[in-house]
A and B are shown apart, each in its own frame.
Chain A
Amino acid sequence: MQIGITAMGAYLPALRVDRKAIAREYSWSGLGMPRGGFRALAGWDEDSLTMAVEAARGLVQTAPESLRIASTSAYYTERSQSAIALDALALPRTVRTVDFGNSRRAATTAMLDALLGTGDQIVVASEKRLTQAGSAAQLAYGDGAAAVRIGEGGGARLAGFASVTHDLVDRYASQDHPTPYVYEERFVRDVAVAELIVPAIRDACEEAGIEPGHLTHVAVAEPVGGTWAAAARQLKVAAPNHCQSVSDAAGDLGTAMPLYGLGLALAAAAVGDYVLVVGFGSGVDALVFEVTGEVEGVAGFAEVLAQGFRLTSPTRFLNLSGALSLDWGMRAEFQQKSQATVLERVGRDTIGFIGGRDSGGNVQFPKSAYPVNPALSEPEMLEDVRLADLEAKIVSITADRLNFTPDPPFDFGLVQFDNGARVLMEMVDRPEQGFAVGDRVRMRLRIKSQNRELGTRTYFWKAAPLARPTLGDA
Chain B
Amino acid sequence: MASGFRDKVAIVGMGCSRFGERWDLGADGLMVEAFGEALADAGIAREQIEAAWVGNALDDINVGNSALPAAHALRLQRVPVTRVENMCATGTEALRGAAYAVASGAVDIALAIGVEKLKDTGYGGLPLKTKGVQNDLWMPYGSAPGTFAQLAGAYAARHGIDAGDLKRAMAHVSWKSHQNGVHSPKAHMRKAVEMDKILNAPMIADPLGLFDCCGVSDGAACAIVTTPDIARGLGKANPVTIKAIQLSASNGWEMQYGEWDGAHVPNTRVAAGKAYAEAGIHDPKQSIDMTEVHDCFSITELVIMEDLGLSDEGRAPADILDGRYDRDGAIPCQLDGGLKCFGHPVGASGLRMAYEVYNQLQGRAGERQRGKVDFGLTHNLGGAPFNSVAAVAILGRLN
Residues on A close to B: CB < 8 A?
329-331, 334-339, 342-343, 345-347, 350-351, 362, 364-366, 368, 372-374, 395-403, 409-410, 412-414, 416-417, 420-426, 434, 436-438, 448-449, 458, 460
Contact = CB atoms under 8 A, between A and B. Distances in A.
B150 interface: yes
Contact of B154 (A335, A374, A437): A437
B137 A350 contact: yes
A403 B138 contact: no
Nearest to A436: B153
A339 B146 contact: no
Interface string B197-241: 000000111101000000000000000000000000000000000
Contact of A426 (B137, B140, B153, B258): B140
Interface in B282-316: none
A362 B257 CA distance: 8
Contacts of A343: 137
B79 interface: no
B256 A422 contact: yes
Contacts of A436: 153
B137 A338 contact: yes
Interface in B164-213: 203-206, 208
A395 B150 CA distance: 9
Nearest to A420: B258
**Which A-B residue pairs are the 3 nearest by beta carbons?**
A400-B146, A396-B150, A339-B132
Contact of A336 (B123, B136, B386): B136
Contact of A397 (B153, B208, B386): B153
Contacts of B386: 396, 414, 424
Interface stretch (B35-43, B111-119, B247-255, B334-342): B247-255
Interface of B: 121-125, 128, 130-134, 136-143, 145-147, 149-154, 157, 203-206, 208, 251-253, 255-258, 260, 262, 386
Given A331-B123, A421-B258, A458-B136, A400 B153 contact: no
B137 A448 contact: yes
Nearest to A373: B257
A51 B257 CA distance: 31
A399 B255 contact: no
Contact of A400 (B138, B139, B145, B262): B145
A416 B157 CA distance: 15
Nearest to B139: A424
25 contacts: A331-B125, A335-B130, A337-B131, A337-B132, A339-B131, A339-B133, A346-B134, A362-B257, A366-B138, A372-B253, A373-B257, A396-B150, A396-B153, A398-B206, A399-B206, A400-B142, A400-B149, A402-B143, A402-B205, A403-B146, A412-B140, A412-B142, A413-B150, A425-B140, A449-B130
A458 B142 CA distance: 17
Contacts of B130: 334-337, 449
Contact of B262 (A329, A346, A414, A434): A414
Contacts of A417: 258
B205 A345 contact: no
B154 A396 contact: yes
B236 to A, nearest CB: 44
B258 A460 contact: no
Contacts of A372: 251-253, 256-257
Contact of B205 (A351, A395, A399): A399
Contacts of A424: 139-140, 255, 386
A438 B157 contact: yes
B280 to A, nearest CB: 29
Contacts of B122: 330
B143 A338 contact: no
B205 A401 contact: yes
A294 B150 CA distance: 47
Name the residue in B122, B124, B252, B258 with the highest tally of chain A Cβ atoms < 10 Å from its Cβ. Answer: B258
A449 B136 contact: yes
B141 A403 contact: yes
Contact of A402 (B133, B134, B145): B145
A402 B204 contact: yes
B255 A422 contact: yes
B307 to A, nearest CB: 16
A345 B135 CA distance: 12
A376 to B, nearest CB: 11
B386 to A, nearest CB: 6
Contacts of B121: 330
Contacts of B260: 422
Contacts of B139: 424
A197 to B, nearest CB: 46
A347 B122 CA distance: 34
Contacts of B150: 396-398, 413-414
Given A366-B138, A413-B150, A402 B258 contact: no
Given A330-B122, A401-B204, 11 more contacts: A330-B121, A335-B130, A397-B150, A400-B143, A401-B205, A414-B150, A422-B256, A422-B257, A424-B139, A426-B140, A437-B157
Contacts of A402: 124-125, 143, 145-146, 204-205
A267 to B, nearest CB: 36
Contacts of A374: 253, 257
Nearest to A412: B140
Contacts of B136: 336-338, 342, 449, 458
B145 A364 contact: no
A342 B130 CA distance: 13
Nearest to A343: B137
A403 B213 CA distance: 14
Contacts of B146: 398, 400, 402-403, 410, 412
B137 A460 contact: yes
A424 B141 CA distance: 10
Contacts of A438: 157
Contacts of B143: 400, 402-403, 410
Contact of A398 (B142, B252, B255): B142
A308 to B, nearest CB: 24
Contacts of A329: 123
Nearest to B151: A396
A420 B205 contact: no
A372 B251 CA distance: 8
Contacts of A362: 257-258
A351 B271 CA distance: 37
Contacts of A403: 141-143, 146, 205
A414 B282 CA distance: 35
Given A400-B142, A402-B125, A342 B154 contact: no
A409 B208 CA distance: 14
B138 A460 contact: yes
A136 B257 CA distance: 51
A365 B256 contact: yes
Nearest to A419: B258
Contacts of B203: 399, 401
Contacts of A338: 132, 136-137
B123 A416 contact: no
Contacts of A413: 150
Nearest to B122: A330
A345 B134 contact: yes
